[in-house]
Each structure stands twice: as C-alpha cells, then as structure tokens.
Amino acid sequence: MKNLFDIKDKVIVITGGCGILGKNIANYLAEQGAKIVILDRVEEAGRELEAELNRKSKALFLVTNVLNKEVLEENKKAILERFGTIDVLLNAAGGNMPGATIAPDKTVLDLDVDAFRKVVDLNLFGTVLPTMVFVDVMAKNKKGAIVNFCSESALRPLTRVVGYGSAKAAIGNYTRYMATELATKFSPELRVNAIVPGFLLTNQNRALLTNPDGSYTDRAKTIIAHTPCGRFAEPEELFGTIHYLISDASSFVTGALSVVDGGFDAFSI
C-alpha cells in the first residue's frame, strides 16, 4: 500500500525557521527525507541550522524579511534555482512585543498602538506576503500544502496579549478564506490549513510564564490548571500534526484549524 505520510524529497519552505518551533520542525522533517528551505533574518543561526540539516537531508538557508515582497521574490528565485520547485510552505514567522501586551497594572487605554500595528504586521502580513509569493509555484504544479501558524489566542481572547491575539484570529480567518480561494481558482489539490498550538515555553513568552528563578508565574499556573493534560506542550508534540497536514494523508483536509493544545480549548468547570 502507498505510504500516505511519505514526504521524502518534498521541498518545504519554513519562514521563521530559526525560532524554537521552526528549528525543531525543520530537523524532524529533514529526518523524514524532505528538502528544507529555512527563511529567517538571523544569518548566523541560519547558517548553523543549514549545516545541521544538511547532515540529514538537503537544506538551504536564505536571509529574508517576511514583510518585504521583493526580498521574498529573490528568495523564491534562489529556491527554484536550487530545488526546482516548492511543495510546502510553513508560515512559522511571528511573535509578540511588550508594547502590544497589557501589563497587569495597565488597561487597554495604555496600549501602544504602534507596537500593536507591528505585531499585526509581523504575524498577519508576515503570513500573507510569503503566501502570495510562493503559492504561484504550487498553483503551476496544481498541488501543494500551506500550513499557517495560529494560536490558542485566536480561538478565545486571552488576557494581556491583545495585539497577538487579534493578529492570530485574523490568520484563522485568512486560512479558511485561502482554502476556498486556491481550491476553486487554481486546484482542489492546493490546500491551506493552520495548526493551533497550545502553550509552549518559548523565548517570546518566557517572561510571561516564568519568574527569574525559573518557577511558574501565576499566569502559567492558571494555564496549566485549565489544561486537561496538566502541562505545557513540547515542540515535538506538533510534529505529527504538521506531518499529517503536509502529506497525502490529509488530501481531503483544507480550511481546517488543527488544535494541539492538551485540551485547553475544551476545558470547562
């Protein structure tokens, strides 16, 4: 029987590939035989990751700016020169910043609008622009898979992270819109889905979830208390869902938000 999960030799582009999630996902997919393209703005870390991945499969690192279409177009040319095609796009670039987060002693009236705008730009337009640039290759092939990175904050408004939550909610809507747009205008085998991770400890949220001594903050304790699995997620717990969404195993799945949150969204009391 055909291996529905076979992704060997697929060319997979990962934006934000040097982040904790991007790097771990890239290593896993390289171990499955995929050809990996890492796009990130941090050149030193990117070169190190490229060398690491090339010991497992074939990899390419390119410096990028997910908010600059011209830079992304140059990235596309380099990818096609090296690998000849693009099969999968993982839009993992994103993040938050303090000004778009409301501190416990502040209110929405103290919100830094410029910081809010930057967070929306990075998360939303940092997904829209790479999709616009790279999807034409998949459209010509009449097949491809795009996975956007959503967030628990897109499903329910979380306190404090108003900018990040608003941007990720928009990505959820954009994912569903693009699923119909691409399938009806280009090919029904061109699919767009999103992964909705639960809470992980990353460099971006560590200050919110841990104290200087490494112990959990009250916010972290509340999250875990509302997570049936009783803990934070590990990056490798996203691998299976990503693998599924980019393989033929999910050939009839598009416009879906795949939640991997330890039961957080289902919790009730």
Which of the residues are catalytic? 164
Non-local (6+) Cβ contacts of 82 within 8 A are 37, 60
What are the structure tokens assigned to 252, written together? 């009839």
Indicate the burial class of 181 (C-beta count within 10 angstroms; 0-12, 13-18, 19 or more): middle
Helix (H) or strand (E) holding 129: helix 126-141
What are the structure tokens assigned to 231, written together? 């803990």
Angle, helices 239-246 vs 20-31, to 10°: value is 60
Residues in a beta bridge with 210: 216
**Largest CA-CA distance found in the chain, in angstroms, rounded:** 60
What whole-number distance in Å separates Cα of residue 265 and Cα of residue 144? 29
What whole-number distance in Å separates Cα of residue 218 and Cα of residue 224? 10
What whole-number distance in Å separates Cα of residue 116 and Cα of residue 126? 14
Residue 141 to residues 65, 78, 145, 191: CA-CA distances in angstroms?
A: 25, 18, 11, 13
What whole-number distance in Å separates Cα of residue 137 and Cα of residue 140? 5
Backbone angles phi, psi at 233, to 5 degrees: -80, 160
**Amino acid type, 250:** S
